[in-house]
Amino acid sequence: MKSKVMVLESFNEPLVLREIEIPALDEGQILVKLQAAGVCGSDVHIRSGEDPRISLPVILGHEGVGTIADMKGGKRTVDGYELKPGDCIIWNRGITCGRCYFCQVIKEPSLCADRLVYGINVSCSEKPYLNGCYAEYIILRANTDIFKIKDGIDPEVLVSASCSGATMAHGFDMLTKSLTGQTVVVQGAGPLGIYAVVFAHSLGASCIIVIEGSTQRLELSKELGATHTLNLQKTSPDERKSTVMDATSGRGADLVVEAAGVHGVAQEGIRLLRKGATYLSAGYAQPAGMEEIDFYRDVVNKNITIQGVWVSDTRHVKQAVDLVAGNPELFAKLLTHRFSLEQADEALTVMKEKKAVKAVLTF
Amino acid sequence: MKSKVMVLESFNEPLVLREIEIPALDEGQILVKLQAAGVCGSDVHIRSGEDPRISLPVILGHEGVGTIADMKGGKRTVDGYELKPGDCIIWNRGITCGRCYFCQVIKEPSLCADRLVYGINVSCSEKPYLNGCYAEYIILRANTDIFKIKDGIDPEVLVSASCSGATMAHGFDMLTKSLTGQTVVVQGAGPLGIYAVVFAHSLGASCIIVIEGSTQRLELSKELGATHTLNLQKTSPDERKSTVMDATSGRGADLVVEAAGVHGVAQEGIRLLRKGATYLSAGYAQPAGMEEIDFYRDVVNKNITIQGVWVSDTRHVKQAVDLVAGNPELFAKLLTHRFSLEQADEALTVMKEKKAVKAVLTF
Amino acid sequence: MKSKVMVLESFNEPLVLREIEIPALDEGQILVKLQAAGVCGSDVHIRSGEDPRISLPVILGHEGVGTIADMKGGKRTVDGYELKPGDCIIWNRGITCGRCYFCQVIKEPSLCADRLVYGINVSCSEKPYLNGCYAEYIILRANTDIFKIKDGIDPEVLVSASCSGATMAHGFDMLTKSLTGQTVVVQGAGPLGIYAVVFAHSLGASCIIVIEGSTQRLELSKELGATHTLNLQKTSPDERKSTVMDATSGRGADLVVEAAGVHGVAQEGIRLLRKGATYLSAGYAQPAGMEEIDFYRDVVNKNITIQGVWVSDTRHVKQAVDLVAGNPELFAKLLTHRFSLEQADEALTVMKEKKAVKAVLTF
Amino acid sequence: MKSKVMVLESFNEPLVLREIEIPALDEGQILVKLQAAGVCGSDVHIRSGEDPRISLPVILGHEGVGTIADMKGGKRTVDGYELKPGDCIIWNRGITCGRCYFCQVIKEPSLCADRLVYGINVSCSEKPYLNGCYAEYIILRANTDIFKIKDGIDPEVLVSASCSGATMAHGFDMLTKSLTGQTVVVQGAGPLGIYAVVFAHSLGASCIIVIEGSTQRLELSKELGATHTLNLQKTSPDERKSTVMDATSGRGADLVVEAAGVHGVAQEGIRLLRKGATYLSAGYAQPAGMEEIDFYRDVVNKNITIQGVWVSDTRHVKQAVDLVAGNPELFAKLLTHRFSLEQADEALTVMKEKKAVKAVLTF
**Residue-wise pLDDT tens digits, D213-222:** 999 999 999 9
The pLDDT mean for chain A works out to: 96
Residues 210-269 of B with CB under 8 A from A: 249-251
Contact B161, B150 (CB under 8 A): no
Contact A179, A204 (CB under 8 A): yes
Which residues in C304-343 are b (16+ Cβ under 10 Å) and which e? bbbbbbbbbbbbbbbbbbbbbbbbeebbeebbebbbebeb
How does DSSP classify residue D73? S
Full pLDDT tens readout for chain D, 363 residues: 999 999 999 999 999 999 999 999 999 999 999 999 999 999 999 999 988 888 899 999 999 999 999 999 999 999 999 999 999 999 999 999 999 999 999 999 999 999 999 999 999 999 999 999 999 999 999 999 999 999 999 999 999 999 999 999 999 999 988 898 999 999 999 999 999 999 999 999 999 999 999 999 999 999 999 999 999 999 999 999 999 999 999 999 999 999 999 999 999 999 999 999 999 999 999 899 999 999 999 999 999 999 999 999 999 999 999 999 999 999 999 999 999 999 999 999 999 998 999 999 999
Residue C333: per-residue pLDDT = 95
How does DSSP classify residue D96? -
A201-217: pLDDT as tens digits: 999 999 999 999 999 99
Do B173 and A173 count as a contact with CB atoms less than 8 A apart? Answer: no
Q: Which residues contact A234 (CB under 8 A, 6 or more apart)?
A: none
CA pair distance A84, D16, nearest whole angstrom = 86
Residue B129 has pLDDT above 90, yes or no: yes
Do C206 and D178 count as a contact with CB atoms less than 8 A apart? Answer: no
Is residue D203 less than 8 Å (CB to CB) from chain C?
yes
CA pair distance A137, A131, nearest whole angstrom = 9
Residue B55 has pLDDT above 90, yes or no: no
Report residue C51's pLDDT band, with 50, 70 and 90 as the boundaries: confident
Residue C141 has pLDDT above 90, yes or no: yes
Residue C18 has pLDDT above 90, yes or no: yes
Is residue D289 less than 8 Å (CB to CB) from chain A?
yes
What residues are paired with B37 via a beta bridge? B64, B361
- Rounded average pLDDT over B260-271: 97
Is residue A89 less than 8 Å (CB to CB) from chain B?
no
Q: What are phi and psi of C4, to 5 degrees?
A: -70, 140
With beta carbons under 8 A apart, name residues in chain C contacting A314: 104-105
Q: How far is D10 from chain C (nearest CA, A)?
A: 41
Contact B181, B249 (CB under 8 A): no
Q: How far is D334 from chain C (nearest CA, A)?
A: 20
Is residue A98 less than 8 Å (CB to CB) from chain C?
yes
CA distances from residue B213 to B192, B233, C340, D117, D196 in whole angstroms, order as listed? 15, 6, 63, 56, 56
Residue B21 has pLDDT above 90, yes or no: yes
Do A323 and B79 count as a contact with CB atoms less than 8 A apart? Answer: no
CA pair distance A305, D84, nearest whole angstrom = 42
Residue B176: per-residue pLDDT = 82
Do B295 and C266 count as a contact with CB atoms less than 8 A apart? Answer: yes
Residue B51 has pLDDT above 90, yes or no: no
Residue A52 has pLDDT above 90, yes or no: no
C64 class by beta-carbon count within 10 Å (0-12 exposed, 13-18 middle, 19+ buried): buried
Strand, helix or coil for residue D128: coil
Do B325 and A181 count as a contact with CB atoms less than 8 A apart? Answer: yes
Report residue A308's pLDDT band, with 50, 70 and 90 as the boundaries: very high
Residue B53: per-residue pLDDT = 83
Residue D54: per-residue pLDDT = 85
CA pair distance C55, D39, nearest whole angstrom = 68
The enclosing H or E element of B229 equals strand B228-231
% of chain A residues with pLDDT over 70? 100
SS (H, E, C) chain C: CEEEEEEECCCCCCCEEEEEECCCCCCCCEEEEEEEEEECHHHHHHHCCCCCCCCCCEECCCEEEEEEEEECCCCECCCCCECCCCCEEEECCEECCCCCHHHHHCCCHHHCCCCEECCCCCCCCCCCCCCCCCECEEEECCCCCEEECCCCCCHHHHHHHHCHHHHHHHHHHHCCCCCCCCEEEEECCCHHHHHHHHHHHHCCCCEEEEEECCHHHHHHHHHHCCCEEEECCCCCHHHHHHHHHHCCCCCCEEEEEECCCCCCHHHHHHCCEEEEEEEEECCCCCCCCCEEECHHHHHHCCCCEEEECCCCCHHHHHHHHHHHHHCHHHHHHHEEEEECHHHHHHHHHHHHCCCCCEEEEEC
Neighbours of C22 (CB within 10 A): 18
Residue A176: per-residue pLDDT = 82
Strand, helix or coil for residue D126: coil
B161-212: pLDDT as tens digits: 999 999 999 999 999 888 989 999 999 999 999 999 999 999 999 999 999 9
Residue C52: per-residue pLDDT = 80
Strand, helix or coil for residue A171: helix
What residues are paired with C229 via a beta bridge? C210
SS (H, E, C) B8-48: ECCCCCCCEEEEEECCCCCCCCEEEEEEEEEECHHHHHHHC
Residue A177: per-residue pLDDT = 84
Strand B94-95 and strand B116-117: pairing?
A: antiparallel
Q: How far is C17 from chain D (nearest CA, A)?
A: 39
How does DSSP classify residue A22? P
Is residue B79 less than 8 Å (CB to CB) from chain A?
yes
Residue A82: per-residue pLDDT = 97
Torsion of CA D11, D16, D21, D27, to 10 degrees: 40
Do C299 and B284 count as a contact with CB atoms less than 8 A apart? Answer: yes
Q: Which chains touch C (3 or more CB pairs under 8 A)?
A: A, B, D
Residue C114 has pLDDT above 90, yes or no: yes
With beta carbons under 8 A apart, name residues in chain B contacting A318: 181
Residues 299-318 of A with CB under 8 A from D: 299-310
Answer left, alpha or beta for residue C345, where phi above 0 means left and psi between -120 and 50 means alpha: alpha
Residue A265: per-residue pLDDT = 98
Do A101 and C107 count as a contact with CB atoms less than 8 A apart? Answer: no
Q: Where are the alpha helices (DSSP H) in A55-190?
A: 155-158, 164-174
Residue B358: per-residue pLDDT = 95
CA pair distance A264, A284, nearest whole angstrom = 11
Closest by Cβ to A99, choosing from C99, C107, C145: C145
Contact D359, D338 (CB under 8 A): yes
Q: Which residues contact A287 (CB under 8 A, 6 or more apart)?
A: A50, D294, D296, D297
A224-280: pLDDT as tens digits: 999 999 999 999 999 999 999 999 999 999 999 999 999 999 999 999 999 999 999
Residue D117: per-residue pLDDT = 97
Residue D299: per-residue pLDDT = 98
Is residue D99 less than 8 Å (CB to CB) from chain B?
yes
With beta carbons under 8 A apart, name residues in chain B contacting A247: none
- Rounded average pLDDT over B267-295: 97
How does DSSP classify residue A256? E
D164 class by beta-carbon count within 10 Å (0-12 exposed, 13-18 middle, 19+ buried): buried
**Count of all residues that appear for chain C in the document:** 363
Q: Select from A35, A30, A32, A37 the least CA-distant residue to A15.
A: A37
Neighbours of A362 (CB within 10 A): 15
Strand, helix or coil for residue A217: helix
Residue B267: per-residue pLDDT = 96
Is residue A296 less than 8 Å (CB to CB) from chain D?
yes
Contact B195, B168 (CB under 8 A): yes
Residue of B nearest to C281 (CA): B300
Of the two residues B177 and B321, the one the predictor is more confident about is B321
CA pair distance B247, B257, nearest whole angstrom = 17
Which residues in C193-209 are b (16+ Cβ under 10 Å) and which e? bbbbbbbbbbbbbbbbb
